[in-house]
A = this chain, B = another copy of it.
């Protein structure tokens, strides 16, 4: 029972799979197809996508190619890093954070061109389908969503290739193309499939596309300084940089020094465990640096509250609920805490390690040398600690006395 749809905006990469989808949409839904290709830093030429789209019969005015890198880093990546977000202790949410932006823009283009449908190339087993569709429905709950992987019967590589061949879609692989299922943007690149489907097995070294291995990284460490304003990195080694440029530069540094590889088994929202390998070079540096600048500028209880809601915040993003009221509530709390997170962090990069070696804040330094010395001072009176401890222990003292009364001590 096909849905009724006239014009569909497709998230289009220009690759084989979304080209097949493009064709399939035309054939099965008899609908007009609008392609949307976003540059979010995946590191691929986008003009070939235009050519390919035209070759598949898409009208030039129906081809949208946009550079979203600055918006991506400024409005998605940076807010997320203010929270020190990590999913399940390991994953920096590189794919999760990019989907909402693409979905939002796709829905906006649908409104502009008068489309009544949207489509994406995510499979029916993963998280991305959820992230895309939550994004669409948050923007416009009337959009018809077409998820070909859940609908068609092209459910094997062989059938796909046969379909492509039959429809004149070129299936030649670029030389050197990875055999893994991959996703990339300015924050990270991910790998799934093949040997990774056995969590006991190590991936081969040449799977990793961005970073050098720690073993091959320079023998010489490198020290960098990042400047923070309201919790966001704004300058590198004293040079002001736009958000996307900042992340690009940090990626270069991380890649050079073998920083940011992770190999994990994670829990998908749709219910199964899945193995993924990730490279998040700049993000790994930012996470450490942000915690370091917070360590001298952020109030203790503000920091602890952030830590306590962080797992929920990370899960919310992982599961695809970026545009939800609960994410906005948590963001409001987090952003409130970042007003005083200003200063600089010095880091040493060396063969996979990111070490904090200094942090400073001219304006918001809550670290007070005077409090830590072993000599007298007038601000902190050691005798105060006795009362502090006694009242904190009072509940134990009372229950202890009760146990004694009961002869149970």
Contacts and interface: CB of A to CB of B under 8 A. Distances in A.
Interface string A304-321: 111111111001000001
A307 B372 contact: no
Interface stretch (A28-36, A42-50, A65-73, A347-355): A347-355
B130 A389 contact: yes
A23 interface: no
Interface residues of A, number: 131
Contacts of A388: 130, 270, 384, 387-388, 390-392
Given A267-B300, A391-B271, A385 B353 contact: no
A393 B137 contact: yes
A12 B404 CA distance: 29
Interface stretch (A169-177, A229-237, A248-256, A395-403): A395-403
Contact of A84 (B89, B352, B381): B89
Q: Which of A271, A379, A404 has most B Cβ within 10 Å? A: A271
A114 interface: no
A20 to B, nearest CB: 14
Interface in A260-292: 261, 263-267, 270-275, 291-292
A359 interface: yes
6 nearest A-B pairs in the assembled complex, by CB-CB distance: A124-B382, A387-B387, A271-B394, A141-B400, A384-B387, A267-B300
